[in-house]
Amino acid sequence: MKKTLYAGLGLVFCSSSAMAELTLSGFVDMSAESITYQGKSARRLQSGNLNTSRIVFRDVEKLDNNMEAQFVYEWRFRADTGAQPVPPARDSYVALKGDFGRILAGRMRITSATTYGRIDPSYTATYSVITNINASYQRWLENNTVKYETPVWNNWQIISSLSLGKEGENLAPKEQQLSGRGTSTGVRYNNGPWFASLVYDKFNNALPGEVMQDIWLVGEYWMRRDYKITAAIHRYFGNYASGKPEQHGYDWQIGGRYFINPVNELVLSYVNRNEAGGPNGDASGLYLSLEHSLSKRTILYATYAQINNRGNSRYALSFDAIPNAGETTRGLSLGISHAF
């Protein structure tokens, strides 16, 4: 089969026996950042404050009129240094799609992660307060995962993912092959301006008998195509750190997007986390961003975010800028995000 890849445009290849598409796309995100933590302020270049810098390979082959094979591989990188995170891959899976729905297998985000990601106005941003606070202990991107998405019936759909755990790979002391094994199952409703979903997660932890459980209820509503309001309620309970006492509590989010004009958008997200048994897991977070579109693929942005930790909480805006316990950490970022 002869294939031709147009790297810049990410377009098409074909053969005489089957129609197929191979696309190359992604984001390069770079910003100047000022971030405060541990009583100091750091000024630096940073990658990924609006979108994760990544290269995405995607292939779709039409097998017949009702079925297609799909492949996705996302390679992350830091635009400021060229380095790759460990592991560098985000989603990496193969899938079959047909009248029966879609079946995926590989490394991918579990059902709850794709669900709150749908309503998180800053989901791919480093400063996402949902990811950094509400889902900070939760599993979201899992190896050895199988996912099934049903067809859509009268605006309803069921999505369920099964992560098989470590399967014997790189087991740490006292870990079991079932470590990381779990399910994430949700039901979705999507009709016009409305989107809503309820998801339940249950995962094994490293030690036998340790289980973490999460329930997400999320919603989204478009108003006159100019405003998008998002909201989430998250209930969690179980062992989120191996060998540590059980944690349980709840958190919530409210946010959205406002289209000021065709080239300017205002993005807002606010979260609050309350953990039972004292303030050690408590925090609130704010994300505020102004995005200016130079074109369909290039955006200039100014983002401010802060996390107010309470008690012994140490939720961070960036993994390399962990605050002191109970400290408020802040970040200001001016950057450019280019899609290709």
Residue 49 has pLDDT above 60, yes or no: yes
**E-assigned strands of 113-180?**
141-149, 156-164
Q: If you search the block for the tokens 């809503």, which residue do you land on?
A: 196
The pLDDT tens digits for 193-246 are 999 999 999 998 767 778 999 999 999 998 877 889 999 999 999 988 777 888
Looking at the chain, the number of H-run helices and the number of E-run strands are 2, 18
The pLDDT tens digits for 96-120 are 999 999 999 999 999 999 999 999 9
Q: What is the CA radius of gyration of the chain?
A: 21
Residue 57 has pLDDT above 90, yes or no: yes
Class of domain 28-51+109-339: mainly beta
- What pLDDT score does 92 carry? 96
- What pLDDT score does 255 carry? 95
In the three-class reduction of DSSP (H, G, I as helix; E, B as strand; rest coil), residue 281 is classed as helix
Name the residue ranges covered by the structural domains of the chain.
Answer: 28-51+109-339
Residue 8 has pLDDT above 60, yes or no: no
Return the biggest CA–CA distance within the chain: 66
Residue 12 has pLDDT above 50, yes or no: no
- DSSP per-residue letters across 104-124: EEEEEE-HHHHHHHHH-TTTT
| Residues paired with residue 41 on neighbouring β-strands, in sequence order | 36
Predicted model pTM: 0.87
Select from 72, 89, 129, 150 the least CA-distant residue to 270: 129
Asked if the bond preceding 88 is cis, omega within 30° of 0, the reply is no
Angstrom distance (rounded) from CA 178 to CA 172: 12
- What pLDDT score does 15 carry? 43
Angstrom distance (rounded) from CA 21 to CA 70: 9
> What is the identity of the amino acid at 261?
N
Angstrom distance (rounded) from CA 19 to CA 271: 45
Average pLDDT, the chain: 89
The pLDDT tens digits for 306-334 are 999 999 999 999 989 999 999 999 999 99
- What pLDDT score does 309 carry? 96
Phi-psi category of residue 224: left, alpha or beta, with phi > 0 → left and psi -120 to 50 → alpha: left
- Which H or E run contains 129? helix 129-129
Q: Which two tokens stand for residue 176?
A: 């079991």
The pLDDT tens digits for 131-183 are 999 998 888 899 899 999 999 999 999 999 999 987 656 666 666 666 778 99
